[in-house]
Amino acid sequence: MKILAIVDRHGLPLSVSTHAANHHEVTLVQLSFDFYMLEAKPEHLIGDRAYDSDGLDHDLRPA
């Protein structure tokens, strides 16, 4: 099982979700926003190398 959390710069949880362990993290980021507790998405996201994806960058870029 993977637990994904999106927190603000102070560590306050904004989204927490669990997923099956057989999925790569980069595919789970969008799903984590389904559990996001605020209407507006964050302006900047910081993650480890597992989240380095041009496709994810494009999907999260503001319209």
Which pLDDT score, from 0 to 100, does residue 53 have?
82
pTM over 0.95: no
- DSSP state, 38? S
What pLDDT is recorded for position 54?
A: 86
More confident call, 51 vs 18: 18
Cβ(17)–Cβ(43) below 8 Å: no
pLDDT on residue 63: 67
Q: Please answer whether residues 14 and 7 qualify as being in contact, where contact means their C-beta atoms are separated by less than 8 angstroms.
A: yes
Task: Find out whether 2 and 18 touch, Cβ atoms under 8 Å.
Answer: yes
